Amino acid sequence: MGKARPSRKSAPAKPTFVIQEHHARALHWDFRLEHDGVLVSWALPKGLPLDPNINHLAVHTEDHPLEYGSFSGTIPKGEYGAGTVTIWDHGWYELEKWRDKEVMIVLHGRRAKGRYVLFPTGEKNWMIHRMDPAPANYEPMPQHVAPMLVLANPLPKNDEGWAYEFKWDGVRAMVYVDGGRVRALTRNDKTLTTTFPELREIGEFLGSRSAILDGEIVTLDKEGRPSFAVLAHRLHLSKAAEIERLAKSTPVSFFAFDLLYLDGHNFLADTYDARRAALNKLKFDGRSFTTPPSSTDVKGSDMLRIAKERGLEGVVVKRRTSRYAPGQRNGEWIKIKNFHTQEVVIGGWTAGQGERAGSFGALLLGVNADEGFTYIGKVGTGFSAADRRELLDMLKPLARKTSPFVQRLSPSETAQAHFVRPAVVGEVRFAEWTVDGNLRQPAWRGLRTDKSAKEVVREP
């Protein structure tokens, strides 16, 4: 008989961790560490931090049984934590310290890797801090990027090297997503997240991914065409009940046409083609958001004709090798419109007559020019009864005795005029500019609360 071999003691099992993505009332990530026979748990509203300079909140919750670490599925409505749970990552961890006021670990997962420490800041609230450097080539997400601007110009003579997109008749928006939370800003940095609660769905879609998207917020009519008039009405709402009601009856969509940042990669210095390829790979498409088409193998004249046939505002042409230039209008992006629109600032109004008695007959309009606030005519059509009431409520508190315009207006233009401080911005559609610099046949399109009066100038 051979010699008996000495028995081997089995190596102690490595403690495990799991991170579950939890789409409940508010999206969060449940971070669970196996310890003393249970899963000690924290809820991370923004997930694990990758940047050691930014700590994330970690809310200490009740311990869970070890079996729960493999759970994914739907918790029924009415039960605690109702919503959808998926396993975001799992693995094992090295324990360096476990004290009442400090838990220090090294994670070994497929997505979650590195040294972290959790520490309390209150009874339930803790913070989680990454102790290792950020991953290689990681860049923190910029807190603010000014949108690249578009120049009004004719179509390029040669289509080679250009990409063509439809021009969507809406409101330009920069959308920042971090840890499932969405922040949307207009061109002049007014927040749109409360105004358009539909945008929160973008955070649900991206989950733990961090991104900056450039695009347009639009409202579509029954034929699928953007309706600026409907959108303009929603722009300046402030009552939560009315905002929620219209979000259901006349929802907006966010059309993303550029990707500027994604998961630690800053795309600002990349070409339009590279940014667009990354956006397409993201498969950014949902109930209230999508990625509109970009064409590189079509003639600009055909694209403009199609836009006109579909009743769209026009076409935007972008140089395929162009880098993103925040806040600049450098001619690398060009817009060609099928109809004329102009942002305007209201400098006064004339009293209404007949059926318009008690309201206004027309609004006196101006733009900023080198010589000052310049009169460009008046508009008296395109208003609903609700528009007239709303505008008067906005204009009356801005009343002033003298004209705000640099020109001396004629008696016919100022008859029964009520002048106001030029602060309210709107938009009109018109036929053409007259020789003396006025709008011909303007019609009101709606308020532009996303624009400041200072930035309104005559479009080329």
Give the pLDDT confidence score for residue 111 in this predicted structure: 95
| pTM of the predicted model as reported, rounded to 2 decimal places | 0.85
Whether the pLDDT of residue 271 is over 80: the answer is: yes
Residue 110 has pLDDT above 90, yes or no: yes
Confidence band for 8, pLDDT divided at 50, 70 and 90: low
- Average pLDDT of the chain? 92
For the chain, the domains span: 16-130, 151-337, 340-455
Assign domain 151-337 to its CATH superfamily: DNA ligase/mRNA capping enzyme (3.30.470.30)
Residue 429: its H or E element: strand 425-430
Of these residues, 3, 101, 167, 401, which one is catalytic? 167
End-to-end CA distance of the chain: 101
Longest Cα–Cα distance in the chain: 124
* Helix 228-235 with 240-249: angle, nearest 10 deg: 160
Structurally, what CATH architecture does the domain formed by 340-455 represent? Beta Barrel (2.40)
Residue 1's pLDDT is 37
Q: What is the mean pLDDT of residues 256-284?
A: 98
What pLDDT, in 10s, does the model give residues 308-321?
998 888 999 999 99
Q: Which residue did the predictor score with more confidence, 432 or 261?
A: 261
Condensed to tens digits (0 to 9), the pLDDT of residues 154-198 reads 999 999 999 999 999 899 999 999 999 999 999 889 999 999 999
DSSP states of 14-55 as a string?
Answer: PPEEEEEEEESSSEEEEEEEEETTEEEEEEETT----STT--
* Cα torsion angle, 344, 346, 347, 352, sign: positive
Residues 6+ apart with CB under 8 A from 453: 345, 368, 422, 423, 424, 425
Residue 460 has pLDDT above 80, yes or no: no
DSSP 185-214: E-TT--B-TTT-GGGHHHHHHHTT--EEEE
Confidence of residue 9 (pLDDT cuts 50, 70, 90): low
Strand partners, 148: none
More confident residue, 228 or 317: 317
Say how many CA atoms lie within 13 Å of 44 toward its Cβ: 24
Instruction: Please choose, from the candidates 90, 66, 85, the residue with its C-alpha nearest in 3D space to the C-alpha of residue 18.
Output: 90
- Contact of 63 with 42, CB cutoff 8 Å: no
Q: What is the pLDDT of residues 329-386, one digit of tens each?
A: 999 999 999 888 999 999 999 988 777 777 899 999 999 999 999 999 999 999 988 8
**pLDDT tens, residue by residue, 38-56:** 999 999 999 999 999 999 9
Q: Is the pLDDT of residue 10 over 70?
A: no
Catalytic (active site) residue 396:
no
Q: Is 349 exposed, middle or buried (0-12, 13-18, 19+ CB in 10 A)?
A: buried
- For 241, other C-beta atoms within 10 Å of its C-beta total 8
Model confidence over 421-459: pLDDT tens digits? 999 999 999 989 998 899 999 999 999 988 899 999 998
| pLDDT given for residue 236 in this prediction | 78
